[in-house]
Amino acid sequence: MDNDTTASAPILFLGPEDSPLLSWLREQGEEVAQTEDKLIPENIAAQGFDFLISYGYRHILSKDILEMFPNRAINLHISYLPWNRGADPNFWSFFDNTPKGVTIHYLDEGLDTGDIIVQQAMVFDTHTETLASSYTKLHHTLQSLFKQHWQQIKSGDCARSAQQGRGSSHTLKDREAHAHLLKHGWDTPVSQLEPSLRAST
């Protein structure tokens, strides 16, 4: 969806065009417009969207945009919030040895700070997993969770709870100091990121 598009659709999907959830929503009969571009409030206001879904979107949404979707804007995040808000949540869950999982939450003006709708904790075998394999499993679980709860989320009949505790948050730059640990890129075994192994080496 280009920012100057005039055709309307009930759902605005923010994320990659090849997202499995985008195709799934359309298979369910949902009318969905998709974009990865940074949104312009004036253009979005003219579209008449009813709901906003952010999944793999790289831009921060402005207050003007969020006010157009009161209680109708959600984000899908591969961390067990409030842990590992922001960038590279999978990496940090192993590096900091924090809870692992996935979360669907409402969007607010903070970074992954909105009320939680549903989440699922996950446990990984650190002897066999890599960053790439755990990343894939996180996304598969998150997509399944979304499909299970979409109708309740869409109707507003879903659960809602404020995030508890400080948790943790990271930016893209935070990982740069530890890039030397990724000796095999995203195929690096997660065991090499664990605090106990780092301390021993």
Edge-to-edge, what's the strand order for the sheet holding 116-121?
32-35, 11-14, 51-54, 73-77, 101-106, 116-121
pLDDT exceeds cutoff 50 at 2: no
Q: What is the largest CA-CA distance in the chain?
A: 59
Q: What 8-state DSSP symbol labels residue 68?
A: T
Report residue 194: phi and psi, to 5°. Answer: -65, 140
What tens digit of pLDDT does each residue of 83-127 get?
999 999 999 999 999 999 999 999 999 999 999 999 999 999 999
Angle value at C-alpha 21, between 78 and 57, nearest 5 degrees = 55
pLDDT exceeds cutoff 50 at 160: yes
Q: What average pLDDT score do residues 131-144 get? A: 98
pLDDT of residue 46: 85
Q: How many CB atoms lie within 10 A of CB 93?
A: 25
Q: Give the count of alpha carbons within 13 A of 67, CB side only.
A: 6
d(CA 91, CA 192): 11
pLDDT of residue 4: 40
Q: What is the pTM of this model?
A: 0.92
Contact by Cβ (8 Å): 100, 119 = no
d(CA 22, CA 2): 17
pLDDT of residue 54: 98
What tens digit of pLDDT does each residue of 4-47 get?
443 447 999 999 999 999 999 999 999 999 999 999 999 898 88
